[in-house]
Amino acid sequence: MFRLNNFKVSKLIFVVLSVFIFSLALTACGGNAETPPDSQVPPEEPGVNIPDPKDEPEEPEVPDASNEEAQKKTIEDFEKYLLDYPGIEGIATLATIVEAQIETLSPEYADQMLSLFEGAQIKALERDANYGAVSDALAAKLFEREIFNREALNMVIETPSSLGDQALSDEIQAYREAYFTVETQEGMYYLVIDYDQYMNYLPGLGDWFAGYLKSMARELSARTFSDAAMIISLDEMWGRVTAVEALLSQMDNTQLPEALRSSHQNLQHYFVMLMNALVYGGNNTPVYAYDTNTMTEARIRFYDAHEFPSQTPLYESFEAFKATAKEEGYKLTDRVNSAREAIFDVVEAVYLQP
């Protein structure tokens, strides 16, 4: 079984990202057929949590984009604001500061401001007593309306008045102002980062961070997993795997400013989840069927049609796994499990720098 010796998946990933609450679907692909990494855990039962934004700070000074020292000071000041406005209740205030200043920053410093803001959102959800759950009243209303998928949630979030309840409409609007949206899984409703709002800033960002945000928004638009099943197509999953692999290969942690390293770590977490999807599948969509211990026909065709570029660190281990699977008649054996574990040895050694 693959274990990350120095890279533990923290609770925040399962609260935030769908951002990464999508990774809860990878919880132990049980039975004897599949044994993926055991670092995924489901979210805790939600409770009540309605943001109560604080008064906004004094109008922040608009930095001079031509003056690097001024931009550095802007980032330093923003880091102080993070301490002044903690928790979910402070995120809306931080958002107003971002909106006021980010377009005046160069891509280098705009990246840092957004990454710091994202980190504040993640920390707020991680430390929230209710793990980012929406209010009981909103959850009950959404359940009553049978709002159980991304498309239906988007409609409600875009037109909260459709719920016919002013208090619930105000609650949703407060989430939107804080760059959160609502996600659902297994009858629970909880907050995740709304990366679609981050997309508004793409023209002013650096290439690497823009690519990172696009990957996060792609996951938000259609989760890889839901209710322990992979619900996107195999080709879409492959597109996500290769896009994130390219980003991690392009830049390691030591090449990034300190302010961007938490985003890089989020991408590492996401890559682990995607590689589990590629190699193991999910509880309800395993690569090897539980009843026959045989690889599904869809997976056989998919693996035959896809390979990493030869210069990619994963090329040899992935090709070795495919060759072993074929030699074993697409039956799950100890050799196959060893070949799959070897892929994650590469993942850990190459892509998961501390």
**Does residue 14 register a pLDDT over 70?**
no
Structure tokens of 168? 């619930």
Residue 183 bridge partners (DSSP): 190
Q: 171-183 pLDDT, tens per residue? A: 999 999 999 999 9
In this prediction, residue 61 carries a pLDDT of: 59
Beta bridge partners of 285: 282
CB atoms within 10 A of CB 262: 18
**DSSP run (H or E) holding 12:** helix 11-16
Question: What pLDDT is attached to residue 234?
Answer: 97
Sequence spans of domains, the chain: 11-39+207-351
* The predicted structure's pLDDT at residue 220: 93
Q: If you average pLDDT over residues 6-18, what whole number do you get? A: 33
Q: How confident is the model over 188-205, as pLDDT tens digits? A: 999 999 999 999 999 999
pTM for the whole structure: 0.82
**Looking at this protein, which amino acid is placed at residue 180?**
F
Q: Which residues contact 134 (CB under 8 A, 6 or more apart)?
A: 46, 49, 50, 142, 171, 175, 182, 189, 190, 191
The mean per-residue pLDDT over the stretch 145-163 comes to 94
CA separation for the pair 105, 206 (Å, rounded) = 11
76-85, 135-144, 252-261, 337-346: which range is least confident on average?
252-261
Q: Which helix (H) or strand (E) segment is 42 a member of?
A: none
Residue 340 in this model has a pLDDT that exceeds 70:
yes
| Mean per-residue pLDDT, 7-34 | 34
Residues 148 and 66: beta-carbon distance below 8 Å: no
Give 51 or 279, the one with higher predicted confidence: 279
The DSSP code sequence of 138-194 is: HHHHHHHTT--SHHHHHHHHH-GGGGS-HHHHHHHHHHHHTTEEEEEETTEEEEEE-
